[in-house]
Amino acid sequence: MARPALADQPEARGTHRVSAGRTVVAAIALGTNLGDRAQHLERAVAALRRLPRTRVRGISSWLETEPVGGPVGQERYWNGAVLVDTELAPRELLDALLAIEAAEGRVRVAGVRDGPRTLDLDLLVHGDAVLDEPGLVLPHPRAEERAFVLEPLAEIAPGLRFPRSGSTVLEALANLRASGAERRVAPRAIASLGTPAEARAWCARERERGRRIGFVPTMGALHEGHLELVRRAARENDAAVVSVYVNPLQFDEKSDFDRYPRDFGSDVALLGPAGCAMAFTGTLAGFFAGLLGADGLLPVSLLVDPGPAAHGLEGALRPGHFAGVATIVDRLFDVVAPHVAYFGEKDFQQTLVVRDLARRRGAPPIVVCPTSREASGLARSSRNERLSNEQRAQAAAIFRALVSARAAWRSGERRADRLGAVMRAVLMDSALAVEYATVRDPDSWSADELAAPLERAQALIAVRLGGVRLIDNLRVDAPDPREPAA
């Protein structure tokens, strides 16, 4: 890929607009495809945390991709992104990145690009700097051309703008996809299986062929949020597998379970174009063959302990819910044995439970993907279909409340009770019945709000509207999420 002639553009040369000592936001891309890739990336993040006058404010999940360019036969890359606040000048930060590469054994060869590497750190954006200097071009000239750069960055900084084009990260990613330049997953004939036993055999055959399986568990009634997970699983793996099963173990209200929509055929019709290779469903008896009691129920002794992440909030309001989640997810992992599994961040506490479960099992890696939102900011959910147009408009207050907590955090508020009060003040002016509007440390979960000032903060809300229960959350100490349309 030829490097653009940036010097021909009037604003490109020598227009560094960052004043000395000013703190700016910088975005850094990370990549590796040699040796212990996880260790290389973890050590790189640790080194970034040690940089002077620099604070790490966001770290993406790791994205595994095929090599782009370079010699054939390379191993797959692990890519990610880190966002930092820094007082270092662009050249100072770049030199620090090169030193981190060298410490991991990276040797740069003049004129050689896209070859295998132990560690690659690219400075993508440094505040509003626009530079074209020997060895330093900002923003990075290929950042907006590469999905493996934009996708991790979109997880932590969707609203970050590239100074030259003016596009946000999300806009650049959408433009790349629309152009067809991104590696796309072609629609395929999908295997539609009706029992866990058939799914287990199908997945075993795929693994025997050396194919990598990405797994997306769902309860059906699929919407765009689910399909985003499936598309990602299809891009990053050889086969995307989706389970469609309304799990009775996780419903604390029978009426809610009875009302939950079920149309496996319609769901399968959506999954093929999204790149899914196999979808399966089943019954409680099929998932737990020979284990159900005479009453047709799973004995309590066989429920999986969901761990400490189940304490408080959803766990307190929905007794037994997370035990039901952990039990079926544990069984689904047994059936599919995926190389990686994908979950949406909208069910934040659930992602913590699932990650704890995966750690106890030793596998699979869990990728938590950003919440998919409607134009108003309302988190996509199967339950949204039960809302009238008027109720959808009212439900948009949930996201406004979350954004208000983020604004309070950025103004210096660090007390969980006060951040919660800010959200409740927004929700009180709506038609929503609030179950909770609170803040937790996402990396050190607690059943109750912490009294001490927080260093990290996840705002979480649960409400009821017209008999429909809605939940949402937002990492308020992270960069701005995509704002809802006006």
Q: Which of 40, 126, 140, 226 is an active site residue?
A: 226
Q: Contact at 8 Å (CB) between 483 and 376?
A: no
Q: Contact at 8 Å (CB) between 82 and 30?
A: yes
List the helix and strand counts (H, then E) for the chain: 15, 16
Edge-first strand listing for the sheet containing 276-280: 191-193, 276-280, 239-244, 213-218, 340-344, 366-369
Q: Is 226 a catalytic residue?
A: yes
Q: How far apart are CA 239 and CA 241, in angstroms?
A: 6
DSSP secondary structure code for residue 1 in this structure: -
Closest CA to 157 of 279, 56, 238, 247: 56
Backbone angles phi, psi at 349, to 5 degrees: -65, -35
Distance of CA 236 to the CA centre of its chain: 14
Closest CA to 84 of 104, 47, 58, 109: 58
Give CA separation, 481 vs 59, 163, 225, 340, 407, in Å. 14, 18, 16, 25, 12
Q: Which residues are catalytic?
A: 226
